[in-house]
Every structure is written in C-alpha cells, then in structure tokens.
Structure 1
C-alpha cells in the first residue's frame, strides 16, 4: 500500500510513501497496482517508473454535486482535478480495472484501453457471522417501531436530505414511531447543519441518530436491527454497504442510479425516482408483508455470494495470470 509522504507518519507498517516507491529497484517485469479514488499530485511521479502498471479505479464523484454548497465547493474543484488526472494517466497504464461495469465504462471514457471489471473485496465472513453489539441492538429495537439505516459520508451526492424527507413522509403517511440511523463521516459542518435544519422543518430531528466513526460491529448491528437500508444516493461507483446489508439480512430499498442497480442485481427493491414517498411506501409494505420481506432477504443473500472473497480472488488470479507467473506462489 502506498500513500503521500505527508501522511506516512500516521499510516500502518505495511504502507510505503510515494518517495519510497520511487527509490525502489524496479525491473520491467515487476507489476505496480495503483488504487485510485481521489486526486494526489504525488502519483504523477510514479508514471515514469520502469515497471508495468495497472490502475484500479474506485470512482470519483463529479464536481457538480458540490457546487453551490458553500464551504464544500473546494471539494468539487478537487473532484474535477481528479477526473482530469485520470485522463492524463490513461496512456501510462497497461491496464485499467474498474470495480463495477459503471466504473469500467468511465475508464473507457478517460482513454484506458480495454479496461476490465473486477468487484471490490468486502468482509463477507464478518458480515455473515452472528456477532452483534447486543445492547445497541436492543436499544434500537426498544426506541422505535420502525428503523431505517443508511451508511455513507455526509456529502451532497448521498442525498441525506431525501432520507430525512423519507422519514418524515413515512411518519406522516403511516403514523408510526420511526428512526433514521445515519453512519458516516461529516465532511462539511455547513452542509451538515443544513441537514439538521431540514430535519427540524420536517419535525423529525429527534428521530435521527448519527454514528460518526462507528465500528464495524456497530454498523453490522445497525443493519441487523433496521427494517430497511434505504439509499437515495445519486452517484455511486459500487456501494459496498449494499452488499453488507444483503449479507446481514437487511432489506435494501434504493434509487437505482449509477452503479447501485448494478451492484444490487436482481435483489432488493429498486426504484427510478427520487420521490421520498416511494421508499416510505415500500417500507410499510415490507412491514406488513412478512412473506415478501423473507423472499427479499433470501434473494439478497443469494446475490451477496456473487461478491464473496473467494469469487473475487478467483477473478483477480485469472486476471493477473496474464501479467505475472503466480503458479509458484499458489503451489508453495
């Protein structure tokens, strides 16, 4: 793993800085895999290394989502710089890998030749285990009749505003106590405070629970305790929390734009409108129809197996056989 020199002091022991990579004795038979998800000017220095290079693309949100968001406008500029950097990188990499067909299509647009798709790894063993934070689970179940969960950083493309509206719509339409559990990092105080203001206007501020820097066990427990994972996100390159929810057994209701529908496949409930009353209605339907809920959970579990670590590892091994001799390592 590599990172900028400025962050090496806070990184783990397996992390190399870009300057360390530059000083290594590379040969033209070596292979460098570079994961990319945001602008880093130091990466430009790696392009001249005498080594075969593969870029693994995890998507960069288009900058327009951050325009008009006050103090977050700088993030839009950096996202646009990132996407421009990808275009400059295209000719320097032997191959590009997208972790979804959506991302692979973007690589093609950036100028990468014949990119391929290999999904991300996610911790399927952990999310399929029975370990939970039992006290958190009981607290969630005792506080509300209905619980909604979403996991993702607080940025405009995730559309937390529409999740707040969905909560308000559900309470208004069906008159039940309900809570919205939001796990993720706050990226901009001004934007976050605007979301709180929206919750005040909708009369649901006290029904929203925020989990910053939550542990994996806490996130898993939120999935297990929730009646549904609801996503109104307008831009995703893959959306790993969908698979995590699938694996835990939490029904997923999601706006199917960008890569979300691709990740969900035939499982869960997808919709093509950002009208909050739609997921609110589906949420109540799942509450009333246990057979439907059980069928959805079963279909989601089947879909999640397509992305289990063993399957993804096999795809990587097959791909890498075209670049390096891995047979010795497999049989040692």
Structure 2
C-alpha cells in the first residue's frame, strides 16, 4: 500500500497552510491511503497534526509506491537534504513574497534576503520533483518560471463548515457594533507587502471625508517590532490611533466574529499567493474591498469589489457607498457566497483526489 507523507516546517491549525495540510491528510485517510504529516523536530511537540519529525522522516524505509509532498512557503535549510531521499516527490507551492518588499525596512531587511534565497531554491531544485502544484494560477505561473514541468493548480482547503456556521463570540460582536458606526477588518501578518499603512490611511480618510466614527480591526502576527511601531506612529499622525484595534494570536472564532461585525474586509496588499481570509469573509457574509494585486483578484473571481489604485480615498468611498446602499451590499454578499462555493472542501477534495490517483491507490474512488 502507498504511503503519503506531507512535510512543512510548521503544522498548526491556526495557520492556513497547516489547516490545509490537515484537511488533505484527513481526506486521504478517509479514502484508504496511509497518510502521515511531518514537521521540523523543534515544532513537533506543538503541532496539532504532525506525528513525524524531520529526523524520523529521513530515517524512513521508503518504498517505490510512497509519495512525499513538500509544502513550500519560505526558505528552509533542511530542504536540500530532503531532495536526496529515495522517494517520489511533489512540491506544493504556497508562494514566497519577493524580497524587495522588505529591503528598505531597516531591521526587516534580513527577511528580504531570506525570501530571495527561497525563490532561488525553487529554481535550483525544480528538476528533483515529479510534479509541482500551485494553490493558485498565480503561483502555478511562478512554478513554470522556476522550471517546473507542467505544474497544476489546486487551491488550499479552507474551513467552509466553520465559517458558514452561526457560531460567534456574541459579546465581542456587540462590543464592536456599539463602539463605532463603521468597522473595517483585515487579517494578515504585519509585514510591508500587506500595506497596513494604507489601511490606516484609509481609516483616517474615511473619518475625514464622512465624519463618522470608525474602527480598523487588524488581526495578525507581528513579525518586526520596528515596523509595527512605525505603523502605530502612522496612526498617531493620522489621528486614529485609538481607532486601531490589534488582535494577536486571535482564535478562529474571534476572526469569524470580526468578519461578521465588520462593514467590510479591506485589503490593500500588494502581494498575495492566494489569500484565504478573502474566502473566509465571503463565507461569513462580509463585503470584501480589495486592491486586485497578484492572486487577490483571482481568488475573488467575479465577486466582491476590486480596485486598481493604492489610493485610500477609493476604498473610503466604497465603504460609504456600502453603508448607504443596502441593496448593493446585499447583492455583493450574495455574489461572494456563490464564489465561496467554488472553494468548498468537497470541490477541493475532488481536485486533489483526481490529481493524486495518478500517484497512489485511492481505494474508495472519486465517487465515494
């Protein structure tokens, strides 16, 4: 019987990649495949799903029918050693942000170097893989540029069952609604390409243009104190520091409640390989306003509101339009709900099963 092992340095449920790995793992086990998840030795104890460490992975007695799925999202010193393992390999590419976004950010310049090293790794090692999979057409196009032969696109899994359910943190919901007339939300780590600075500028522009009380809710991990403090300084300059709410290590329920309470999910990000929070907002019923860069427009498809200028007055105007035109808002929410179904777990599962049947025995078949 074939064994499928997925590896990523970190596998935790709070991370979009970790959640997608676990979904594929559970799907394969349901279909009769011996599936395992591996992560770095140092992360095994805190992983929600991994049962193998990197050291254990290297000591496995590989069979001809086995398959190793390597998820790639950042530079990994151990990556090259995995390529020497005597097993068939498929790379699943979740994108790496180009280094130039970090180059002029002082203490974050090292991150730019690491990102560029990551992308160089892809070019050097493309020939070691039987196949490459990008989780968006944007990422698949990059795989082609890196030298992968005929890569395919399969989206990540997202927890549609949870985000379409009615479960909320009711106290947080009512607190948010009571505090401000207008609420904006964004979910993503605090790094330069996400353009939190322009989200803060949009909040300031909205308050100046329309004179309403408004709050900006930002959920994400802080990657650099210097950059984060600069963002707070920008909020001070814009007179909106008290209106910016920060949520670190937010639970899924908190994020879902932020979507439900917000008037819009706003993204000014300049670089995304997929952007799972867009789908989560779609599923909850939160209108999405987004700068249509890289894979963002692809993920949104025909739904939501896309714009092509990094001008804070543009989304500020859309925010007010959504507030005044309830029929328009309802139409947008309905179109977004339809788009989200394209990425529901069942649809993504079928794509993975169809792809993997060429590599492993899926005993239950596609119609089980």
TM-score interval, smaller chain: over 0.9
Find the partner of 1:139 among 158, 167, 175: 175
Partner in structure 1 of residue 344 of structure 2: 308
Secondary structure in 2 aligned to 1:54?
strand
Partner in structure 2 of residue 51 of structure 1: 87
Secondary structure in 2 aligned to 1:327?
coil
TM-score (norm 2): 0.88
What does residue range 1-332 of structure 1 map to in structure 2 within 5 Å? 1-12=37-48, 14-328=50-364
Q: Could you say if the C-alpha distance between residues 330 and 294 of structure 1 is closer, same or farther in structure 2, counting changes exceeding 3 Å? A: closer
Q: Which runs of 4+ in 1 moved over 4 A?
A: 328-332
Secondary structure in 2 aligned to 1:29?
coil
| Contact 2:354/2:366, CA 8 A, preserved across alignment | no
TM-score (norm 1): 0.98
Secondary structure in 1 aligned to 2:78?
helix
Alpha-carbon deviation of 1:199? 0.4
* 2-structure distance, mates of 1:115, 1:211: 37
| Contact 2:353/2:366, CA 8 A, preserved across alignment | no
* 2-structure distance, mates of 1:84, 1:130: 44
| Contact 1:18/1:43, CA 8 A, preserved across alignment | no
| Contact 1:32/1:52, CA 8 A, preserved across alignment | yes
| Contact 1:231/1:255, CA 8 A, preserved across alignment | yes
* 2-structure distance, mates of 1:318, 1:69: 43
* 2-structure distance, mates of 1:206, 1:12: 36
| Contact 1:163/1:232, CA 8 A, preserved across alignment | yes
* 1-structure distance, mates of 2:334, 2:364: 40
Secondary structure in 2 aligned to 1:38?
coil
Partner in structure 1 of residue 24 of structure 2: none
1:223-246 CA distance string (max 9 Å, x none): 000000000000000000000000
* 2-structure distance, mates of 1:265, 1:13: 32
Secondary structure in 1 aligned to 2:338?
helix
RMSD of aligned Cα (Å): 1.3
Q: Could you say if the C-alpha distance between residues 301 and 52 of structure 1 is closer, same or farther in structure 2, counting changes exceeding 3 Å? A: same
* 1-structure distance, mates of 2:265, 2:99: 26
Secondary structure in 1 aligned to 2:239?
coil
Q: Runs of 5+ in structure 2 lacking a partner?
A: 1-36
Alpha-carbon deviation of 1:162? 0.1
| Contact 1:18/1:46, CA 8 A, preserved across alignment | no
Alpha-carbon deviation of 1:160? 0.1
* 2-structure distance, mates of 1:274, 1:331: 46
Equivalenced residues, count: 332
* 2-structure distance, mates of 1:289, 1:6: 52
Alpha-carbon deviation of 1:270? 0.1
